[in-house]
């Protein structure tokens, strides 16, 4: 049994990861802003700790943990990107990471590892293949993601193993991009966003969870891992494959100006993409169970 501390445990990824950890017998400690909600949404945790990165009441809870997994951060699609919202997105990641590292540094028995969520937004918009060693992009999300990772690197000075998991577009029937796309396809209104030529770096939710488990269990892994399928496709190819699996057409393109009208600057996340290669992830020996898009969608849509 391992003591695993988890922030962001009530999110889509956090709930799946928490359950998987508990199913295998680990002691999950959830750091959360709302304990009652966490108990309802993620039952069975060993402990629920009220967590606010503006104070240090919870510092002692990081003692003797096998891993601190940091998933928490403001949803980038929760509101239009005003300067105030951009600041909220930035600070929710950098300040929370800084506070967790401060707690770990003060612990008498330090956690074995610090595993921090990151995003393929690090690379910005790239038509050429990029991997874990590639340079960051220059847009807003790329700058935020780089700063997020740079903050996490401060833990390296005390010898705690660090892993940054740059996550792509997570395919999950219950939430995220796939759940939102299913509805228009059901109504025969499905199709690519914008030109459809942008890269769509996706990953099946089950493979993502297994990458997190590997990062916890393998002491040989450190640094950055790209959590994306090796079977990368364009937005157009993704939608055509989804349409075929749902027996629906994929001809209703959503024009760029419509997305920008409704989403503002956030639309760039959907209209741009990067050809992300999981080079280091594959080199660890990780085997993607759902590396083929057609098979992955079939698995997610079967029920």
Domain boundary assignment for the chain: 3-171+204-228
Report pTM. Answer: 0.95
Amino acid 72: pLDDT: 93
Q: Are 68 and 117 in contact (CB under 8 A)?
A: no
Helix axes 293-301, 235-246, angle to 10 degrees: 40
What mean pLDDT value characterizes the chain?
94
Buried-exposed string 171-205: b where 16+ CB fall within 10 A, e elsewhere:
bbeeebbbeebbebbeeeebbbbbebebbbbbbbb
Tokens of 220: 């040989």
The residue-averaged pLDDT of 249-276 equals 88
- Phi then psi for residue 28, to 5 deg, are -95, 125
Between CA 139 and CA 118 the distance in angstroms is: 15
CA distance linking residue 116 with residue 298, whole number of Å: 30
Looking at residue 54, what is its pLDDT? 87
Q: What is the mean pLDDT of residues 271-283?
A: 95
**Residue 26's pLDDT band (cuts 50, 70, 90):** very high
Say whether pLDDT at 99 is over 80: yes
Residue 257's pLDDT is: 87
Tokens 């009652």, residue located: 36
**Partner residues linked to 161 by β-bridges:** 113
Tell me the pLDDT band of 78, cut-offs 50, 70 and 90.
confident
Look at residue 176 and tell me whether its pLDDT is greater than 80.
Answer: yes
**Chain-centroid distance, C-alpha 167:** 4
Give 179-238 pLDDT, tens digit per residue.
Answer: 989 999 999 999 999 999 999 999 999 999 999 999 999 999 999 999 999 999 999 999
Calculate what percentage of the chain has a pLDDT beyond 70.
Answer: 100
pLDDT, residue 209, reads 98
Confidence of residue 47 (pLDDT cuts 50, 70, 90): very high
**Region 3-171+204-228: CATH code:** 3.40.50.720
Tell me the backbone φ, ψ of residue 287, rounded to 5 degrees: -110, 115
What are the phi and psi torsion angles at 238 (to 5°)? -60, -50
Q: What are phi and psi of 91, to 5 degrees?
A: -70, -30
Residues 6 or more apart whose CB falls under 8 angstroms from that of 80 comprise 263, 264, 265, 266
What's the pLDDT band for 265 if we cut at 50, 70, 90?
Answer: confident
CB 259 within 8 A of CB 198: no
Q: Which residues contact 77 (CB under 8 A, 6 or more apart)?
A: 263, 266, 269
pLDDT in tens, 100-153: 999 999 999 999 999 999 999 999 999 999 999 999 999 999 999 999 999 999
Tell me, what's the pLDDT at 303?
A: 65
């Amino acid at each position: 049994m391992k003591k695993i501390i988890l922030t962001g445990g009530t999110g889509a990824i956090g709930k799946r990861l928490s359950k998987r950890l508990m199913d295998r017998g680990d002691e999950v400690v959830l750091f959360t802003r709302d304990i009652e909600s966490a108990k309802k949404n993620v039952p069975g945790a060993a402990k629920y700790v009220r967590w606010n990165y503006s104070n240090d009441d919870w510092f002692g809870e990081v003692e003797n943990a096998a891993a601190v997994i940091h998933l928490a951060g403001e949803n980038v699609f929760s509101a239009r990107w005003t300067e105030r919202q951009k600041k909220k997105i930035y600070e929710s990641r950098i300040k929370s990471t800084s506070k967790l590292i401060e707690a770990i540094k003060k612990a008498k028995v330090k956690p074995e590892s610090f595993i921090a969520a990151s995003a393929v937004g690090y690379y910005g918009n790239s038509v050429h293949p990029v991997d874990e060693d590639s340079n960051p992009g220059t847009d807003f999300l790329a700058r935020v993601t780089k700063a997020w990772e740079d903050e996490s690197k401060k833990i390296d000075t005390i010898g705690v193993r660090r892993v940054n998991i740059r996550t792509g577009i997570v395919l999950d029937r219950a939430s995220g991009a796939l759940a939102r796309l299913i509805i228009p396809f059901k109504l025969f209104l499905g199709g690519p966003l914008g030109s459809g030529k942008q890269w769509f770096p996706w990953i099946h939710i089950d493979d993502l969870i297994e990458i997190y488990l590997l990062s916890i269990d393998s002491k040989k892994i450190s640094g950055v891992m790209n959590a994306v399928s090796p079977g990368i496709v364009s937005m157009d190819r993704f939608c055509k494959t989804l349409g075929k699996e749902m027996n629906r057409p994929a001809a209703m393109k959503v024009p760029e100006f419509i997305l920008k009208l409704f989403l503002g600057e956030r639309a760039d996340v959907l209209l741009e993409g990067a050809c992300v290669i999981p080079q280091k992830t594959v080199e660890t020996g990780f085997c993607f169970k759902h590396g083929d898009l057609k098979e992955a969608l079939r698995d997610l849509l079967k029920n």
